[in-house]
Amino acid sequence: MTEHEGRTQDEPVGASADSQSDDCGCGDACDVDTAAETPSGDGPTAVNARSRAEFGVPEMDCPSCAGKVESSVRRLDGIGDIDPQVTTGRLVVDYDPDRTNLGDIKSSIEGAGYAVDDEPSVRTVTLTVPDMDCPSCAGKVENALDTVPGVLEYDTRPTTGTAIVTITADTDPNDVVTAVENAGYEVTGTDADELDDADTDTDRTSVWRSTRALKTWVSGAFLAAGIATEWVFGIELVVATLLGVSITLPEMFYLVGAAVGGQEILRNGYYSARNRSLDIDLLMSTAIISAVTASLISPPTSLYFEAATLAFLFSVSELLERYSMDQTRNSLRELMDLSPDEATVRRDGTEQVVPVEAVEIGDVVVVKPGEKIPVDGTVLDGESAVNQAPITGESVPVDKAEGDEVYAGTVNEAGYLEVRVDSAAGDDTLSRIVSMVEDAQANKTEREQFVERFSGYYTPFMVVVALGVATIPPLVFGLDWVTWFVYGITMLVLACPCAFVISTPVSVVSGITSAARNGVLIKGGTHLEAMGAVEAIAIDKTGTLTKGELTVTDVVPLNGNTEDDVLRCARGLEMRSEHPIGEAIVAHADDNELDSRDVAGFESITGKGVRANLDGVPHYAGKPGLFEELDFHLDHVHITDPGDTLSADVQTLCDRQGCLNLVEDTIPRLQAEGKTVVLVGTEDELEGIVAVADEVRADARATVERLQSFGLSVVMLTGDNEGTARAIAEQVGVDDFRAGLLPEDKVTAVEGLLDEYESVAMVGDGINDAPALATATVGIAMGAAGTDTALETADIALMADDISKLPYLYELSHQANRVIRQNIWASLAIKAILAVGVPFGYVSVALAVLAGDAGMTLGVTGNAMRLARIRPDE
């Protein structure tokens, strides 16, 4: 992110380039409309993002006012998130400029009875610049944007070919487009409403059939003709004279080849010079012009062959780089193409096919077998198996029936479904995933920042070296100036750091998009790298290692009560409790169709249990400690029927016959089995025990063992007691566990692990475990599909409720770190080896271009693409 120098601290910010990132603070998953125009060719896809505007509404000074304003604006088509800020009297609105405009929003605010104090201060425009496919290109675009008055911030993304520009409200977006095009890059699409008539056709031919490719092939043909006439047939026929210098037939072929192949290079070099960007285009232009100029001003020196070779091979290198970047972009485009363009909506008793953008919340969408579900929603009618792999990465279709949630982009495998729309197009889970994957590229990792800083010194240094190589040996030592001039040109070729600079971002994009296709959302390259370097993983027990669905496993009646008696009391006590244990007890009693009891005076005893009057009698349900405080002797409890008369002998031996020692026997035994014990009774009598357990996931132990095989320490965190925690820990095979933890205790536990290990990941549900997730080096949320809070809280989200994705996540991240290191050091090593070989005559211009530029660009990209082959274990 680069900030324009003209901006001051006092300027209000209603939108910014990174307002669409995961940490924008907007309160919801950032609303970036990633609906894409699907290209018919192989070219890039235009990415249309929502714009954001901020209005001053000083009279909106209470929640009621905010509600009226929000309701009024919400009626407009194309409105995304609305954030009424009562304390500051500001209204921030995300909107689709293709469906509404600033004037309509202002009118809606005024229509609610509130004056708009000022116009929106800033807005965001997203430009599609497909030819901006390398850091050098991005640098020229950034230099051009710096010259546009009103540009506050910009975020150039070569990996997707987009530029997100924040401008003042009175800045004409056409000025931004013109500046980018003046830098030599065509803008094929924009989300600005003022540019509706602009050419947004993004259908492009294949890289290998493009105009530049055709010029490259023609250039190669002339180069081959020159080689054939000079070296095969030995023709030295003079065919022309230029500036008094004779030009032979082979040299003419070389000149034409250099002119045709170098046209795009010289054009880009001109824009680089105009934008004061010392990049590869300027260096190659300098090399080609220098070779031709030297041949013309110092005959019989002939460097036309070198000029033609440089023009042809560098053009081939650029085509290879474009092809490699398109392959990288395809991984993101595949995510965008998951969502269908049309939906069948039932309105006024009839079915009609409409664009997905026209579907409104509350509409009923009909999805037939084999069709993609176009929206996030709830099944109203029908049953089917739905393939959720595009969202959650689940390999097996999930059965859906009335009341179940479904997601846009998933596939209805068999049955007929009617779905109520819960999220507008662009606000659905798939759109948020694509948005976050796009925004993840803007968050540069430490390695990326280092590489960019290094390249800023590398290129000027290499240019100085090239000048030294070309001039010092001839001037100081009297060596052949032609030879050393060619060596200097070769060093200029090696001055380009492109392969080095893209080595990290292509790996990050490949890793993040590959993870997204497998149901793992990584919200930035920083988190990808951090996950690959963790030494320990803290895992919350409930809902992660276990299913998070408590069930009653045991009912032990005491003092002559029956199981039904105990359950009736427990049900009455827990009916008004919101605790999962209480809900499990109530559900079990309902399944047994037990009668209800009259409940009054319900009271929750924090951390211990509950109290209520059942049929007028005070009852308690809770931990054993609660009943010890009530002076019950838990080491001596009768389980006999009170109707039986015990003989004196039995009464004497009651410790062994007809009695239980709950403290030393029953409670520890149940807890050792991983069960939570709830005692039920009155103030005078203990009526029974209810044991509740959370079933361990079938794949929990295999997951823990796989993580341990990577050398990671796995620690379980739980609020359960020591006995229950130990039982679960033994079942799943974790290295260590921490029991009896409140949410703040989990934070302390994570901090303790960070003292012990350099890097720690925390896995939880993204809501209750939010503080611990934020404390850990990497926070991972389980089952985040359709859950805004989990998507926002965690650094990484497992979209399905599937713990088995953890080993895949670590392996992918670990391999990504390895690939990034390989790319960085390999590109540096190749450059260094070639540079050392130049003065000794071992490295020609052709080898420098093929190996140092084209070869390394293909190499680092291909190496990065290997990450897509890593798959979760089925």
Q: Active-site residues: which are they?
A: 540
Helix (H) or strand (E) holding 705: helix 700-709
**Tokens encoding 9:** 């601290």
CA-based nearest residue to 61, from 123, 117, 102 = 117
CA-based nearest residue to 161, from 460, 382, 393, 438 = 438
- Put the strands of the sheet holding 675-682 in their side by side order: 546-557, 686-696, 675-682, 617-622, 609-614, 599-605
Q: How far apart are CA 752 and CA 748, in angstroms?
A: 6
Residue 728's SS3 state is helix
Q: Is 385 exposed, middle or buried (0-12, 13-18, 19+ CB in 10 A)?
A: middle
For residue 300, is the peptide bond before it cis, meaning its omega torsion is within 30 degrees of 0?
yes
Place of tokens 């080898």: 847
Q: How far apart are CA 103 and CA 107, in angstroms?
A: 6
For residue 130, is the peptide bond before it cis, meaning its omega torsion is within 30 degrees of 0?
no
Residue 412's SS3 state is strand
Q: How far apart are CA 187 and CA 34, in angstroms?
A: 18
Q: How far apart are CA 419 and CA 414, in angstroms?
A: 15
Q: At what angle do helices 481-494 and 446-477 cross, to 10 degrees?
A: 180
Query: Would you state the torsion angle of the CA atoms of residues 155, 157, 161, 164, taken in this order, to the nearest 10 degrees?
Result: -20
CA-based nearest residue to 31, from 98, 78, 101, 99 = 78
Q: Are 213 and 319 in contact (CB under 8 A)?
A: yes
CA-based nearest residue to 141, from 43, 322, 275 = 275
CA-based nearest residue to 20, from 54, 50, 53 = 50
Q: How far apart are CA 540 and CA 555, in angstroms?
A: 27
Q: How far apart are CA 489 and CA 17, in angstroms?
A: 39
Q: How far apart are CA 436 and CA 332, in angstroms?
A: 11
Which of the 8 DSSP states describes residue 673? T
Which of the 8 DSSP states describes residue 195? G
